Amino acid sequence: MKTPVTVLGLGAMGTALARAFLAAGHPTTVWNRTPGRSPELDSLGATRAATAGEAVAAAELVVVCLLVDDTVRTTLDGLDLTGRTIVNLTNSTPGQARATADRISAAGARYLDGGIMAVPVMIGGPAAFIFYSGAQAAFEQHTADLSVLGRPAFVGADPGLAALHDIALLSAMYGMIGGTQHALALAGSEQLPAVGFTNEFLMPWLTAMLGSLLPRMAKDLDDGPAPGAAGSNLAMQSAAYGNLIEASVAQGVDPAMLVPMGELLRKAVEAGHGDADLSAAVQLLRTAD
Ligand code: FVH
């Protein structure tokens, strides 16, 4: 008998989570604020609860996937959570996750915060992974159950750490997407076909840059800059960056996505890092240091 599980929230992601549990043979109780959402779950064997309280009562393992942190608070507040393990996969900040952990613990339950690194169609597949942090014993007890959703990565007992990892990766994704959107707008300004430009040039370029530049930047941050390693110093990059802005404006493309990076490079050079590598600019972003 597989571990019974409750899923609160049947949006696009909650539905995918419930489907994965059902496919793996877990008795699955579901609840959603708007009744009747994702009717296909009924034929897959889900049990529908009429209220969130009824759903929480149905299983020790409760997976929550709602829109935002506030939604989680209003949904769970006042419910009897005694003895439950609450796994909250709603997008949160580290601060929100820590506050939720305090409230859930005070209500007599164990708390795991999670950050899903997948879109709904990836859930249950090989590329999906999910960060968890918080109650380690609960994670160890339920590792196999949670594995049906995606590879579980426990990142620490501090409940805020999963959200930190999640938000760091989402920041990288949105930065990358912003850059690619700008590149595609530039290509479009000369009617270049997006698919050909992407497959032939954009993807290979990004793949090469990620493969060479990112590991070196990370190593420099951990170990200090490798002597003489910089082949693309910041003074050169800052000097060339103005062309990116000028060309965009001339092509009728809003340079808003590019301007902040140009500012960062300029500040890094002004601060005396002209001979350094991109890792020096990472340090400048840390306003709390
Ligand atoms: N979908 C994705 O690609 C990303 C992948 C990474 C993780 N995110 C996060 O997952 C959370 C849920 O996202 P979602 O895609 O399921 O979102 P929706 O399809 O919009 O469903 C939202 C659910 O939240 C319920 N809900 C909204 N407001 C309330 C409320 N005040 N009280 C109770 N429930 C509420 C909503 O219910 P309903 O509108 O159907 O009644 C849906 O069940 C999210 O944190 C992502 O950032 C997804």
Where residue 68 sits, what CATH number does that domain have? 3.40.50.720
CA 78 / ligand 1 centre spacing (Å): 21
The CATH number of the domain holding residue 254 is 1.10.1040.10
Give yes or no for residue 37 CB within 6 A of ligand 1: yes
Residues 16 and 109 in one domain: yes
Atom of ligand 1 nearest to the CA of 16: 16
Q: Answer whether residue 168 is part of any domain.
A: no
The per-residue DSSP string of 239-289 comes to HHHHHHHHHHHHTT--GGGTHHHHHHHHHHIIIIITTS-THHHHHHH-TT-
For the Cβ of 164 lying below 6 angstroms from any atom of ligand 1, the answer is: no
Q: What is the pLDDT of residue 228?
A: 64
Residue 280 lies in a domain: yes
Q: Are residues 23 and 110 in the same domain?
A: yes
Domain-located, residue 162: no
Tell me the average pLDDT across 136-158. Answer: 98
Q: Classify residue 60 by its DSSP letter.
A: S
Residues 151 and 235 reside in one and the same domain: no
How many domains does the chain divide into? 2
Q: Which domain holds residue 256?
A: 189-285
Q: Residue 197 and residue 176: Cα distance in Å, rounded?
A: 16
Task: With respect to residue 170, please indicate whether it lies within any of the assigned structural domains.
Answer: no
Instruction: Check pLDDT > 90 for residue 124.
Output: yes
Total-model pTM? 0.94
Mean pLDDT of 219-227: 88
* Inter-residue contact 99 to 73 (CB < 8 Å): no
Identify whether residues 147 and 43 lie together within a single domain: yes
Residue 226, pLDDT score:
80
Rounded mean pLDDT of the chain?
A: 96
- Examine the domain organization and report whether 214 and 114 are in the same domain: no
- The answer to whether 105 and 83 are in contact (CB under 8 A) is no
Same domain, 148 and 195: no
Are residues 241 and 152 part of one domain? no
Residue-level pLDDT at 289: 62
Does 120 contact ligand 1 (Cβ within 6 A)?
yes
